[in-house]
Structure 1
């Protein structure tokens, strides 16, 4: 393997937050940046065209009474919509109106910190999943009558840290039509394939749980449980599906490991593979002491976040030592570190 390239063209951006920033997300087109902080605010900036290192003055959204952990942009087909979750136990949904950003929904059914939020694939309509320290998961759904409906159910006994939606189509549905499904006249087999409502959650019980919506009972059921971590699972990310006949889920844990879970067919079991940071030739930090070698399969510190590229073939891993590494599966099915960046 070639030594990974060091990503050196990162540029710091001033946001004027008064405390630690917990999340930053670009919108669908990469033209707006939203940030959230322990100062209890969300800020929305326009990215200056031609210079991504410059931001407009931005607008500050106030409504939370505690640190804001995460933000999530809705799909632009539903307008300019942004959701935020906080230690105050609330989820706020903001929408840009002619007069500026306005709070259009306050979701306050949780009794503890809401740690993670995730919008469903746009094919499913405006749906937002929320994960809370009270151990419950809630799903907000925008109805035809203009109201938001909320489903809430028990997820992880001692708290839920993260949530991530599965793609709206079954793996392989774009290249292999489902034999049991009769095509709809005027549509291709891929278009007539029913959408799938499914997401994964990561918990303080060291487990990842997969939930699916049952149309017959109109309820969410636990479809699978993934066991493999030895401590809290801090993050979970379901890879986008570009039509290939396989599902990928990445999980990050307090136990300093990252696991890649794969599933070849709807009936096959999930198979886990651990990333091996000891095999990566990471770039040294100038002036920093050489870090002690970590055990095989373990990162130097707690792994906090994992995130897939839009194509689902590149995984970013954010570690507590301030380093972000990029991983890719080679033709032999082995995951390799292809790049790294120091914060």
Structure 2
């Protein structure tokens, strides 16, 4: 008989409802962004302790811009965090090397640097909102891609990875029509394989390959959602010696799993699964080995899938979020019973 254990960890220090949450590659450092009534955004960084619920806030700062998405760079480049804004820019913050994390920082007394993090760059990418952003694999350097509301992908590169205050525009790609593009993912690094990006472009996801000889990005595969719904999220599984590449795409209520094979200049696409959910899929993500894939929905549920021995994708875990009101009622009932 299976045993189910429910654990709920509440971060009391959050400045408000989290708009986005981002974990670094270790899974033990987490950043959140929360909107304030005045229209600004509070960014908070938590680090995990020895226990499953021992999360401690180590930094917090406030920005006047509305931040809707976060992404961590690889720790090889220090603690560098990027934020997508609704005003057409991407903000970059980093740890101040000479300062050490002490007690939990507060927004009111740490100033604009927010504890031991400080603003490093403000990358202007247009006038509309940034819909998705992600850092390239560490082997490519400190490179950041941002998908904007107008359908363009801006790729910026830090000129000095040890002090990433100055960034240059590496390239700019028109991924799709304005207003329908969302979801962005780099292909994990493999020796001998050129850089590749997958971007949502309405009811399809496009795979782009950087051709060094042409100094430009070329479309090498198209992944159709098949349900007429716009793509909301994409994520590329680590290759790890597989004969085929795996890509997860969230579109409408479905999480679609595709395989890519053949020459990288003209990839062969095959849909392996279409996993339906009770609510629209908001985000999809693979684990570090590409063996399991998770889908988060707007119903505050996360479903985790993995293939069985015959290749069918089977749900292994379903995590349901708890309403704040429900939690408060439970606490009140426990207090009354004592």
**TM-score of the superposed pair, with normalisation by structure 1:** 0.79
2:46 match: secondary structure: strand
Are 1:135 and 2:113 an aligned pair?
A: no
Change (3 A) 1:339 1:46: closer
5 Å-filtered alignment, 1:98-137, equals 98-99=98-99, 100-137=116-153
Distance (Å, rounded) in 1 between the aligned partners of 2:5 and 2:71: 25
Q: How big is each residue's C-alpha offset from its partner over 1:14-66, in whole Å with a ceiling of 9 and x where there is no partner?
A: 23223x3122222233332211123312111232x212423334322333512
Query: Which structure would you say has the larger RCO, counting Cα contacts within 8 Å and 6 or more residues apart?
Result: 1
Are 1:45 and 2:46 an aligned pair?
A: yes
5 Å-filtered alignment, 1:1-343, equals 6=4, 8-18=6-16, 20-39=17-36, 40-47=41-48, 49-66=49-66, 68-97=67-96, 98-99=98-99, 100-143=116-159, 147-150=166-169, 151-159=171-179, 160-169=181-190, 193-203=191-201, 205-229=202-226, 230-254=228-252, 256-266=253-263, 268-276=267-275, 298-343=276-321
Is 2:225–2:231's contact at 8 Å kept on the other side of the alignment? no
Is 1:201–1:236's contact at 8 Å kept on the other side of the alignment? yes
**Stretch deviating more after TM superposition (316-325 or 23-32):** 23-32
Is 2:220–2:267's contact at 8 Å kept on the other side of the alignment? no
Moved over 6 A (4+): none
1:51 match: secondary structure: coil
Structure 2, gaps ≥5 residues long: 100-115, 322-338
**Stretch deviating more after TM superposition (221-230 or 331-340):** 221-230
Q: How big is each residue's C-alpha offset from its partner over 1:82-136, in whole Å with a ceiling of 9 and x where there is no partner?
A: 1111222211111101242111111112221102111111111111111111211
Q: 1:318 deviation in Å? A: 0.9
> Over aligned residues, Cα RMSD in angstroms?
2.1
Count of residue pairs the alignment pairs up:
292
Q: 1:245 deviation in Å? A: 1.7
Distance (Å, rounded) in 2 between the aligned partners of 1:217 and 1:248: 27
Change (3 A) 1:257 1:79: same
Distance (Å, rounded) in 2 between the aligned partners of 1:195 and 1:7: 42
Distance (Å, rounded) in 2 between the aligned partners of 1:261 and 1:168: 19
Change (3 A) 1:299 1:6: farther
1:92 match: secondary structure: strand
Change (3 A) 1:319 1:57: closer
Distance (Å, rounded) in 1 between the aligned partners of 2:125 and 2:298: 31
Task: Give the corresponding residue for 1:284.
Answer: none
Distance (Å, rounded) in 1 between the aligned partners of 2:172 and 2:143: 13
Distance (Å, rounded) in 1 between the aligned partners of 2:150 and 2:5: 39
Change (3 A) 1:164 1:268: closer
Structure 1, gaps ≥5 residues long: 170-192, 277-297
Q: 1:144 deviation in Å? A: 5.5
Distance (Å, rounded) in 1 between the aligned partners of 2:64 and 2:124: 11
Is 1:245–1:265's contact at 8 Å kept on the other side of the alignment? no
